[in-house]
Amino acid sequence: MPVPAKQSPQLVLQMRRNRVFAPFVRANARKRCGFMELVDIRVFPCGVLFKSYKMFCKARIDGVKLDKFTYSSVLSICGRTGDVELGVVIHGLIVVSGLGPQVFLTNSLIDMYSKCGWMDQARFMFDNSHELDDVSWNSLISSYVRTGLYESTVEVLIRMHRSGLALNAFALGSALKACSSCFGGSREIGKMLHGSTVKFGLDFDTVVATALLHMYTRTGDLSSAAKVFKLTLNRNVVMFNAMIAGLFQSDTEICEELADEALRLFSEMQRWGISPSSFTFSSMLKACNAVEAFGYGKQIHAQVLKNNLQIDEFIGSALVDLYSLSGQISDALRCFHSTPKIDIVSWTSMIAGLIRNGQFEHALSMFYNMLGSRGKPDEFTISSALTACAGLAASRSGEQIQGYATKAGLQHYTVVGNSQVFMYGKSGDIDAANMAFEEIEDRDVVSWSAIISSHAQHGSATEALSLFEMMKRAGVAPNHITLLGVLTACSHGGLVDEGLRFYEIMKREYGLAPNVKHCACIVDLLARSGRLVESENFIVNSGFEDDPIMWRALLSACRIRGDTDTAKRVADRVIELEPQAASSYVLLYNIYSDAGIELPATEIRELMKDRGVKKEPGISWIEIGSTVHSFVAGDRSHPKSQVIYEKLEELLEKIRKLGYVNEKAGCDSSVAEQKAALRRTIIAKN
């Protein structure tokens, strides 16, 4: 323990600031003032801690001689409450109490200062102590880990080893935890520490083995982690959790192989008689969601219910993801509402799940419900809400949400900016999308993909390709979505040769395997330019010959080209693959109707009727203020439907007087659909 003259400048300054407590530094102080008043006005997180403080004060006032254990206990309370000012006063009392430089009190002071964030003072106490023991070293090492000073952790451990002290499980475990942070050279240092654990016979210690697992998995060395796990005999739930979570914490993308390994570990831990924890179930549900193993996910849900862990918010969020990903949105909502403590993660998962299932209006409504319940959205919640606005093309609602994000200080997050670009692009405001893109400070591949896709959807092929070149110059590698936007731009812009070139570049230069959407773009690209035979041959050789998306893309192009013969053959193939999909029948009907061929069109209607194929009603919506109103043809569910239809009849009458006749009523030529067609014409002309 250093004498007062050796105190650090920081401590001396703090003691001077606290001179109001000087009367209580003297052992013979009797008056109830200053120090006791300070204790009375402080707010403590626990009533027991408050009583401990008051008992200490009473003992000082009554002149009771306190020993090192009493002072250590009070310092522990200061550390727990983060009350460094009071801790400094206790330090002063220890100095004048005559207890002397005892290692026990030095350790308590190191612990108190580090927990209060005063690492310089903690290190000063350590460096100037006349005596150090294992606890001293362990206290400083754990303090550095707790405050994120990982390189200092390793430095102190090396110094401890050089001082001749044997490394213990606690010190090695803390240093390995520091290596898990992946600072420069952490993997190499971690392997050296692993060697030390073997040297000192600590490699079978559960604490050390768990730290080794975390270190190897977080630095991406899954094979070494598996070896450590296999060699550890006394496995517990913490070790199994570390191994399972480690499979998904590495840089490797979650694949079926990793998910299968996680399921194997999950089964093994139960065979060992180890009960899974809430963390285990949460990790397993995430694994099932990642590889769409929804059947396994539901079995795990059954075990969650059996163990009465469904109330855990992390499990609740994972269950919401499970059912929304599998399209069972009603079950997802049931899991969401059964979670007793709905936090921001639960809200965001549910909103994202609704968006995933196309329920944009419901998702936006849930976002407003969250705000009404005083929930504070984070950047991911804002991003999801903006995505819902994009699905509804509700730019005004999106602007309001963006305003909220700005007020909450969330506008600078890249994920928010990306969603804003996407929202404006979907809403047709390409200028606003460009402006939002320019305001993103740290652009990633999603930022570039969003702006490229926005221009592609609006026929700005040249601008989209120019942005792609800018992206390459910025050093950002494209992904599947980026290339899909580029191919869409080429298709909409009629740039056949460019599109085919990018298709080859995608495979050759970027190593990205085209999926069915990329191939459908090429089909559309070729067919739109009149190369229908080449387009059909491409489908046959693409590897996606049995996917209706490919044939439907060709069928749509047949309508543009007016090729009824090819359309009939292609439609037969699509209907064979998807006999209950109304869109293929409707598209073929419209091709014949456009060509003025009446009989086959009538036969298609009869075929749909015989097979029980029903056309899904198209949903339209309009944004008024911050509210989005959706409706279908003939819909009278709106509270103001009578007024709306009266105005519609008035407009239709004016249009008829101007000589407008609906020439293409489509597959369903009902009066309601004709009115809907007229209404769309009004909107288009305005």
pLDDT, tens digit (0-9, with 9 covering 90-100), for 376-410: 999 999 999 999 999 988 888 999 999 999 999 99
Amino acid 350: pLDDT: 94
Q: Whole-angstrom Cα distance, residue 444 to residue 92?
A: 53
DSSP at 581: -
- At residue 675, does pLDDT exceed 60? no
The residues that bridge with 619 in the sheet, in sequence order, are: 632
Higher pLDDT, 363 or 154: 363
Amino acid 672: pLDDT: 47
Average pLDDT for the chain: 79
Amino acid 226: pLDDT: 83
Residue 184 binned pLDDT confidence (cut-offs 50, 70, 90)? low
Letter for the amino acid at 452? I
Amino acid 670: pLDDT: 44
CA angle 606, 612, 618 (to 5 degrees): 90
- Going 105 to 110 to 116 to 120, the CA torsion angle's sign is positive
- At residue 681, does pLDDT exceed 70? no
Specify the residue for token string 């050789």.
541
DSSP per-residue string spanning 101-118: S-HHHHHHHHHHHHHTT-
Residue 17 binned pLDDT confidence (cut-offs 50, 70, 90)? very low
- Going 535 to 536 to 540 to 546, the CA torsion angle's sign is positive
Amino acid 453: pLDDT: 95
Amino acid 619: pLDDT: 62
Which helix H or strand E contains 130, and what residues bound it? none
Give tens-digit pLDDT for 151-178: 787 788 778 877 777 777 887 777 777 7
Mean pLDDT within 314-323: 90
Q: Is 39 buried (19+), middle (13-18) or exposed (0-12) by CB count in 10 A?
A: middle
Give tens-digit pLDDT for 239-262: 888 888 877 765 455 567 777 888
Which helix H or strand E contains 619, and what residues bound it? strand 619-624
Residue 189 binned pLDDT confidence (cut-offs 50, 70, 90)? confident
Q: What is the pTM of this model?
A: 0.67
- At residue 8, does pLDDT exceed 60? no
Amino acid 584: pLDDT: 73
Q: Which of 586, 606, 608 is nearest to 664 (CA)?
A: 586
Q: Whole-angstrom Cα distance, residue 339 to residue 547?
A: 40
Give tens-digit pLDDT for 455-487: 998 889 999 999 999 999 999 999 999 999 999
Amino acid 380: pLDDT: 95
Give tens-digit pLDDT for 523-534: 989 988 888 889
The residues that bridge with 621 in the sheet, in sequence order, are: 630
Amino acid 183: pLDDT: 56
Q: Which of 205, 217, 137, 139 is nearest to 177 (CA)?
A: 217
Q: Judge whether 517 and 549 are in contact, CB under 8 Å.
A: yes
Specify the length of the chain in residues: 686
The residues that bridge with 624 in the sheet, in sequence order, are: 627
Residue 72 binned pLDDT confidence (cut-offs 50, 70, 90)? confident
* 3-state SS string for 491-548: HHHCCHHHHHHHHHHHHHCCCCCCCHHHHHHHHHHHHHCCCHHHHHHHHHHCCCCCCH
Higher pLDDT, 429 or 681: 429
Q: Judge whether 511 and 481 are in contact, CB under 8 Å.
A: no
Range with top average pLDDT, 88-92, 240-244, 441-445: 441-445
Q: Whole-angstrom Cα distance, residue 627 to residue 647?
A: 20
DSSP per-residue string spanning 324-355: HHTT-HHHHHHHHHH-SS--HHHHHHHHHHHH
Residue 573 binned pLDDT confidence (cut-offs 50, 70, 90)? confident
- At residue 37, does pLDDT exceed 50? no
Q: Whole-angstrom Cα distance, residue 252 to residue 13?
A: 51
- At residue 202, does pLDDT exceed 50? yes
